[in-house]
Structure formats: structure tokens, C-alpha cells
Amino acid sequence: MSSTVSVFVSTKKTEQSAWKASTPAVMGEQGATIFIGDNEADNLRKIQKAGRQLDNLGINAVKLMGDDWDIERQWAFSNGFTDTLTKNQIEWASDAETLRQMRDTAAWVRKLINLPPNEIYPESLAQMVSEKLTAVAPDAITVRSIVGDELIQDGRMGIHTVGRASERPPLMLVVDYNPSKNKDAEVEAVLIGKGITFDSGGYSIKSSEGMLAMKCDMGGAATVAGALVHAIHQGLNKRVQLVLCCAENLIDGSAYKLGDIITYKDQQTVEIVNTDAEGRLVLADGLLYAGEVNAKLIIDAATLTGAAQVAVGTDYNALFSVDDKLAQETLTIAEQQRELLWRLPLNQWHKDNCPSAFADTANSRPQKGGGSGGASNAAGFLLRFAPNNGAGWLHFDIAGAYHGSANGLWPTGATALGFRTIAATLLK
């Protein structure tokens, strides 16, 4: 008896099956068959649901059979046929090496995000990312970490302020991928990731149920790191730097408080009105760094706001940019990569939507969720720190990065949604 279940895709509808027509995968003597139609977007969604169905049936190894499996259909199945710990095995129908690399990268991203907070903290996150990228491109990678009070000396006050209350020091990790090995090569792109490895909310403390999943608040860091890994595998030949802004947002006598004012390296001042709006505080340091190295393209990713999730749900990521041409190109790339991405509003005047009488700006509005338009206002805060008034800058609020419970498309935990789009944006 075979140790794997054969899975087929078919356009031939059957009228004699005992299975309901809405069932993603129909089981038979030869294995499982997924009956598809004319709309490919619907087909991919059904195929991913079929993967979840087979995982829920307790199947842990499959072989994709037949000629109707193109790379995107196989990838959709892969996303569904993935348990939380990525133990399931797939024999691919075609493009095996490409799909194996993609699945391994996605599994690595998910593993980072799913790790418990006693294992994932700023220094361990930095070490895991550094080791992974060094293994992928050992001759082209250099790594620098700015740790603890070194952040003050380097002017990275947002990261230090958010993370100083933890016994585990905050840090900024800079990974330089420079395939030319020319130290004077231009930095074509900087990827910036929010690396809050646990978020209690600080003195604006979260509820117990709201805090349970906050190991995932470093999902932005994992996603951009995975994007760089994938882009290198795909032949990236440009100099790209990865900047991870890492901290634990905890509480003790040294924790930052409501009413505190942070002065950033560019002398902008920020009043703290919500210590649970910490992600934007650390990303500001990363954006200032990107300006210092004159990056042509800047992409940040963060599990930044609940407001973005309210707006786009958990199947999409949200995109913000004031660079219309770049934003449209990115939406097209996301569609090509079969990753759901939706652009939300951002204008220059969003920079002033969190006013303060005591500083240049506040880090939010002093109301639940930052009030109406909270995701755009958070992006507007970041826009204050983006070089060139936001030209060449993309902000991903990755609402789809983590699911607290399994659904018809994804297992419990991280999804890695977004790493393909960001990698393809680097490669365009």
C-alpha cells in the first residue's frame, strides 16, 4: 500500500459522487480529486481549501498527479496542506526544485513567527536571521548588530525606548547583501522589519486574550527576511540591506510611559500617548537608517495595526504608499504572485493626524485603536521619517501574517503571506 495519497486536478465534473458539490477534494479509490472550473482565482482558492481538507483528515503525505498542476496550483495546495509545524510532505508534479525552495522559505518564516516568546527574543531572532542568510549567500553577507545602550550612541532612540524595560536588550540588526563585494556599491533597496518579539502593550497593557498571540508581533521582520532569502534564491544581483528593529515591549520601573517624549536622530520629537503603538516607534529608526544609506527603494513590513485587519480582513495584506506608480506596480506584482494585497489611503496630510501640543507629533491618538483611520494615521506617522517625502517607499501592514485559529485556508499560526510579493518587487 502506498505511503502517500495521490491528488489529482480535474476539469471533468462528476455527477455520481457521494460527496457534496461544495467539497474541495473528493476522495476515491485512486486518491483525492479536486474538480475545478473556468475562474482561476476561484480554482486556486478551492485547491488551497482542498489542502486544508486533506490535512484535517489526518493525511500527512501526498503526491500531486497529472498534467494539470502548474506552479501556482501546486503552491496554493502547499499553503493549505500545511499543518502548524509544517510536518506534511508533498511530492511535486513539476517545478520541484523551485517549489521546494519556496516551501522551505515559507516554513522558515512561519517557524520564526510561531516560536514561543521564551525562544524568540531580539538577540535570538537576530542570530537566526543572520545564520539563515549567511548560509544562503556566505560570500555576499555581512552582519552588524547594535545592541542595548549602543542604540543610544547610534541615535536609535525608538528601538531603545520601547525595549529598555526587558532583561533581553533591544537591538537593530543590519544585514548587508552585497553580491558585487564592492564596498562603494549603491544600496538599491532597504528592507525594514518590525521585530517586536513580544508585545505586552506596555503601560497601555493588552488584555490577556489580546496578548496571547503577541509572539507574532515580529511577523514583519520574519517576512522581509524571508523575502530576501527567496530573492537571493531567485538570482538577486543587487545590493540590498535588511534592517530589523527588535525589542520586547514589556513593563518595569524603567519602561517608557504615557507623556514621555522621544527625540529621534533627525531631531523630530514624539509624544507617547499609547505605549501599545510601539511598532511605528521602532520602524522610524529603520526608515531614518534607509535615508542615511540613500536607498533607492524602501520597503517596511509590520503587524502594525488592528485597524488594517478590520479594513482588509485576514486574507489580505494592506499596502500604503504616496508613490502612486510604485504602489500600482506592487499591486500588479502581488497579483502575479497570487498574494492578496489591497491599497489603503495615505496622503501627505496623514503625517499631521496625530497632533501633540508638546512635541512635533504624538505616536497615535489617545483613543482605542487610534481612532478612525488608525491604519492610515500609523502609516502617516511613518511617512514623517521616510526619506524623500515617501518617494520610493512602500509600507506593508501585514494583517494576513498570523491567524489565531485554523480556518478553511490556513492552519493555526503564521501564513508567511507577503514574502513572495516583496521578493518579486526586489527582483523587478
Residue boundaries of the structural domains of the chain: 5-94, 108-427
Architecture of the 108-427 domain? 3-Layer(aba) Sandwich (3.40)
Per-residue 3-state assignment (H helix, E strand, C coil) for 339-385: CCEEECCCCHHHHHCCCCCCCCEECCCCCHHHCCCHHHHHHHHHHCC
Residue 113's CB is within 10 A of a number of other CB atoms, namely 26
Residue 121: pLDDT over 70: yes
Please give the C-alpha separations between residue 83 and each of 101, 222, 370, 416, in angstroms, as whole numbers.
18, 19, 35, 13
> Percent of the chain having pLDDT more than 90?
93
DSSP 61-110: EEEEESS---HHHHHHHHHHS--TT---EEE-SS-HHHHHHHHHHHHHHH
Confidence of residue 2 (pLDDT cuts 50, 70, 90): low
SS3 content of the chain, % helix, strand, coil (to 5): 40, 20, 40
Confidence of residue 223 (pLDDT cuts 50, 70, 90): very high
Read off the pTM.
0.97
| Exposed / middle / buried, residue 206 (Cβ in 10 Å: 0-12, 13-18, 19+) | middle
Residue 20: pLDDT over 80: yes
Mean per-residue pLDDT, 224-228 = 98
Enzyme catalytic residues: 206, 280
Indicate the residue type of 113: I
Decide if 85 contacts 107 (C-beta within 8 A).
Answer: no
Q: Which of 379, 391, 398 is nearest to 334 (CA)?
A: 398
Confidence of residue 112 (pLDDT cuts 50, 70, 90): very high
Chain position carrying cell 495546495: 77
Amino acid 367: pLDDT: 84
Residue 39: pLDDT over 60: yes
Q: What is the pLDDT of residues 122-166, one digit of tens each?
A: 999 999 999 999 999 999 999 999 999 999 999 999 999 999 999
Amino acid 1: pLDDT: 40
Mean per-residue pLDDT, 92-102 = 98
- Largest CA-CA distance found in the chain, in angstroms, rounded: 74
Amino acid 146: pLDDT: 98
Q: What angle do CA 336, 339, 342 make, to 5 degrees?
A: 100
Q: Which of 306, 316, 124 is nearest to 206 (CA)?
A: 306
Cα Rg of the chain (Å, integer): 22
Amino acid 12: pLDDT: 80
Mean per-residue pLDDT, 340-352 = 98
Decide if 393 contacts 381 (C-beta within 8 A).
Answer: no
Q: What is the pLDDT of residues 360-372, one digit of tens each?
A: 999 999 987 788 9
Chain position carrying cell 506592487: 330
Distance CA 51, CA 81 (A): 4
Q: Which of 268, 225, 243 is nearest to 383 (CA)?
A: 268
